[in-house]
Amino acid sequence: MSYADSPKLDFAVFKNKYAKTDKHPSEVGKIEFSREFLKAMVERAKTGQMPVLRVAMWENVSKAGMPYKNFRLELDQPKSDEPEVEAVAEEEEDDLPF
């Protein structure tokens, strides 16, 4: 499965407007796992590998002017022993000594 085809989950985290003390979370959100994403995690676990998720975060502002953080979860792709054809081609074009 290529990176572009791998399942991804996007979710947002907003300032918790109900927080009253330091014991309350400063930001909250929720994640809805798709069947496709869960299936990919289960398939990875069946191979004996623990599913590892990668996370990325962007800071945004909603149309209403509320700042929030947008996150993406992706199933980490295991490294293969063979370099991809595209990566090899890029290395051959590079004239840098390192």
| pLDDT single digits (tens) 18-28 | 999 999 999 99
Q: Answer for the pair 1, 74: CB distance below 8 angstroms, yes or no.
A: no
pLDDT of residue 71: 95
Cα–Cα nearest to 7, from 60, 51, 64: 51
What's this model's pTM, rounded to 2 decimal places?
0.66
Q: Quick check: 53 and 74 in contact, CB under 8 A?
A: yes
Residue 43, SS3 per DSSP? helix
> How many CB atoms lie under 10 A from the CB of residue 53?
12
Domain chopping of the chain, boundaries: 3-93
Quick one: pLDDT at residue 53? 92
pLDDT tens per residue across span 65-87: 989 999 999 998 877 665 555 54
**Is pLDDT larger for residue 95 or for residue 32?**
32
In contact, 12 and 29? CB cutoff 8 Å: yes
